Amino acid sequence: MAPRNRDDNFMDVDSDSDISLLGDVEHRGKGKGKGKVIDKRKKDKGKAKAKEQAYTWEASYTRSWDTVQEDEAGSLQGAVEDLMARGRRRRLLAPAAAIRRTIIRHLVLLLDLSAAMMDRDMRPTRFDLMLQYAREFVVEWFDQNPLGQIGVVGMRAGIGERIGEMSGNPQDVLKCLSERSRLEPTGEPSLQNAIEMARSSMSHLPTHSSREILIIFGSLTTCDPGNIHDTLDACVKNKIRISVVALAAEMKISRDLCDKTGGQFGVAMNEGHFKDILFELVPPPAQRAVARAGGPGANPAADLMMMGFPTRLPDSSPPSLCACHSDMKSEGFLCPRCMAKVCDVPTDCDICGLMIVSSPHLARSYHHLFPVKPYEAVTSMEGESTPQTASSCHACARIFSTSVSTAATSEGMSPWGRYRCPDCHNDFCAECDVFVHDVIHCCPGCGK
Amino acid sequence: MEKASHLSVIVDLSPTQWHLSAQTSNQYPLSIETFLSQLLAFLNAHIASKHENSLVVFGALPGKSVLLYSSTELLSDDVPSLDANSYLPFKLVDSTVVQRIMNEFDAIGELEEEPSCALVGAVTKALCYINRITHPSSTTAGVAEDPSIVHDPRILILSVSPDLSSSYIPIMNAIFSAQKL
């Protein structure tokens, strides 16, 4: 076989080799200059390469393949533990005391259905990913806030479209999010029209429930008929909290909407981060102390709400019409005040307006109000006051390793893998720590 | 019955309640000795039905909850003596559970006011244990854990004490987390 003609200018490398032929010039093309919210996760590994870079923004740009290190066995165990440590640190910063939160929430989800959402910078498209995460968000939200209601509004072609009515049933909300053909993105988004539509749909709600708007915004423009700052002032007056998750860069108006109303603003850097900041909005928000100017009789601590506990009708009871759909059914719940039959709880009775909840729904919201104290990492074993220190985790009986692990050096992680409860002084392993704080919400040692 | 299953048994060991239950003035008196013999027969049956079945027994005492027996870890060092008429796995379970219960009862001592039964702690510990078994993800050493993933974990609570109002919220939290697991 004749040897191939080798051109002198041709460098024989593989197409996917990472030897850059052009050197540093290649790096300048990367990145879209996204405005980012600097969050705690960034590490300064980029600074070590400063001598090779021409632009200062490259110093703060973390290459995600650098932050993940393999240990000598080739496993990513250390990186996974690092992520868990960051989660613990974030949890430690959250207040451990019980603060007042609104459990009864009304949320309007504002989805951006403009042409900018067909961009493919998030796989498969921003629109598909947003729909998928919105469905997961709705499921998780109703799991954590069973007494809440969600409505969906879309921003498309310069107007706000009502996609779903405010409903407390997760299946209804998921149904209107699943009809993808109805939601095809076109046109330009209009922030003002959509926020006005959301605000007017929440205007009739009682004051003891929280009103929130969550905007998933992927465009960099908005075309509004009037002055959006008037809308913003109206929202502040109506005590509506607006939070924005931006998929493109940060806009000043988005930031202002969130800051003035007390919501949270985030720009998604990648798919995982998008999901994280979306799910940060699932727990109920802390209620801010409202400065009442000259309101002598209004004592915020004395707000009482009327709720009714229904009696359940089993399948064997005689069929009758329900008050909500006029369906002939046997099973249902009886409102305690007016004895009307409703199909599903929690709901507002259609006849007398009483809020009907069952006790597990209330119980599911309690863990927000009584959080478990975060565990402290045990960093030194000298000077132990107790005569015998447990050799195994108090909850799952996993044996603690007696040797110090050298991989865990970041703050918040204990080198012995022990985490101590400040109240009952029992040691727990890292997995139980995560499990207790995220799922069970009850310390096994304290039993509270 | 084809797959391995896990069973966590939580036994309520509050002495006053068992004393009250054993009174002959009750309609069906049940003393702790008869109860324990029935319970041990049940535990043996669970172990015998399949080799891979795993078992954990927790005891809920006034004021604290302890792990009495775990099939995955042998916590006690003394192996019971073998005689010709006993089957070693059964004897191990029986002797460990009974020995531990006796130790705990001896350690209780005389108290003026007995603290309430720590059923909540036992339930949360059982859930943590099941969480650890169903997610054998991280191991600190390089030893590979055996890949027997537990299917169908169950918790059985045997209680003679009346319900405590202060433990409503933690028990509901435990129920919701069991739903999620």
One-character DSSP codes across A419-431? EE-TTT--EE-HH
In degrees, rounded to 5, the angle at the alpha carbon of residue B94 between the alpha carbons of residues B92 and B100 is 95
ipTM of the complex: 0.81
User: Could you give the count of Cα atoms lying within 13 Å of A160 in the half-sphere of its Cβ?
Assistant: 25
Closest chain B C-alpha to A382 CA, distance in angstroms: 23
Q: Is B86 on the interface with A (CB under 8 A)?
A: no
- Chain A residues whose CB is inside 8 A of the B121 CB are 444-445, 447
Q: For residue A242, report the phi and psi dihedrals to the nearest 5 degrees.
A: -110, 130
Distance between CA A132 and CA A118 in Å, rounded? 14
- Contact: A431, B167; criterion CB under 8 Å: no
Q: Which residue of B has its CA nearest to A408?
A: B140
The confidence score (pLDDT) of residue A131 equals 92
In the predicted model, what is the mean pLDDT of residues A386-411?
65
Which residues sit opposite A308 in a β-bridge? A356
Task: Select from B119, B94, B133 the least CA-distant residue to B5.
Answer: B133
Q: Is the pLDDT of residue A53 over 80?
A: no
Number of domains in chain B: 1
Q: What percent of chain A has pLDDT over 90?
A: 21
Of A435, A136, A284, A147, nearest to B138 (Cα)?
A435
Contact between A440 and B127 using a beta-carbon 8 Å cutoff: yes
**Predicted confidence (pLDDT) at residue B143 exceeds the cutoff of 90:** no
- The predicted pLDDT at position A231 comes to 93
Average pLDDT over residues A383-405: 66
CB pairs under 8 A between A and B: 90
pLDDT of A293 reads 45
For A247, B71, B101, B153, the CA distances from B97, given in Å and listed in that order, are 58, 11, 6, 21
Does B128 contact A at CB distance below 8 Å?
yes
Residue B156, strand partner residues: B9
SS (H, E, C) B115-147: CCECHHHHHHHHHHHHHHHHCCCCCCCCCCCCC
Q: How confident is the model at residue A446 (pLDDT cuts 50, 70, 90)?
A: confident
> What is residue A5's DSSP assignment?
P
Mean per-residue pLDDT, B26-51: 87
Distance (Å) from the alpha carbon of B181 to chain A's nearest alpha carbon: 9
Choose the mutation target among A396, A400, A401, A405 for the interface with B, i.e. most B CBs under 10 Å: A396
| Helix segments in A203-312, DSSP class H | 228-237, 252-261, 271-279
Tens digits of per-residue pLDDT, A97-129? Answer: 667 788 888 999 999 999 989 988 888 888 999
Name the interface residues of A facing B (CB cutoff 8 Å): 73, 77, 80-81, 360, 363-364, 366-367, 370, 393-399, 401, 405, 417, 430-432, 435-436, 439-445, 447-448
SS3 of residue B176 by DSSP: helix
* CA pair distance A262, A264, nearest whole angstrom: 7
User: Mean pLDDT throughout A356-374?
Assistant: 81
Which is it for strands A159-167 and A149-156: parallel, antiparallel or unpaired? antiparallel
pLDDT at position A406: 53
Which residue of chain A has the CA closest to B130? A396
Geometric angle at alpha carbon A362, from A359 and A366, rounded to 5°: 130
- In this prediction, residue A402 has a pLDDT band, given cuts at 50, 70 and 90, of low
A441/B172 Cβ within 8 A: no
- Does B128 sit within 8 Å of A432, measured CB to CB? yes
Do β-strands A419-420 and A427-428 pair in parallel, antiparallel, or remain unpaired?
A: antiparallel
Mean confidence (pLDDT) of chain B: 80
Residue A147: per-residue pLDDT: 86
Are the Cβ atoms of A397 and B138 closer than 8 angstroms?
no
Tokens of B27: 């309609």
Cβ within 8 Å, pair B124-A436: yes
Which CA distances in Å does B90 have to A96, B5, B80, B97?
46, 18, 11, 11
- For B25, the domain range is 4-179
Contact status, residue A342 vs residue A355, Cβ threshold 8 Å: no
Backbone angles phi, psi at A121, to 5 degrees: -75, -15
- pLDDT tens-digit map of A187-204: 899 999 999 999 999 988
Higher pLDDT among residues A206 and A96, named by residue: A206
Probe site for chain A from B6, B140, B166, B179 (most A CB atoms < 10 A): B140
CA distances from B115 to B11, B22, B101 (A): 17, 21, 18
CATH, residue B92: 3.40.50.410
Residues B104-110, mean pLDDT to the nearest whole number: 79
pLDDT digits (tens, 9 = 90+) for A205-215: 877 788 999 99
Q: What angle do CA B115, B121, B124 make, to 5 degrees?
A: 165
For residue A227, pLDDT over 90 is answered with: yes
User: Cβ B173–A441 below 8 Å, yes or no?
Assistant: yes
Residue of chain B minimizing CA distance to A144: B176
User: What chain B residue is nearest to A84 in terms of C-alpha separation?
Assistant: B138
CA atoms within a 13 Å half-sphere pointing along the CA-CB vector of A209: 18
pLDDT in tens, A310-353: 998 888 888 888 888 888 888 888 999 988 888 888 888 888 88
Instruction: Answer whether A35's CB lies under 8 Å from A250's CB.
Output: yes
CB contact under 8 A, B142 and A73: yes
Q: What percent of chain A has pLDDT over 70?
A: 69
Selecting from A73, A394, A442 the residue whose C-beta is nearest the C-beta of B173 gives A442
Residue A294 has a pLDDT of: 42
- Alpha helix positions (H), chain B: 15-21, 32-49, 88-108, 119-134, 168-180
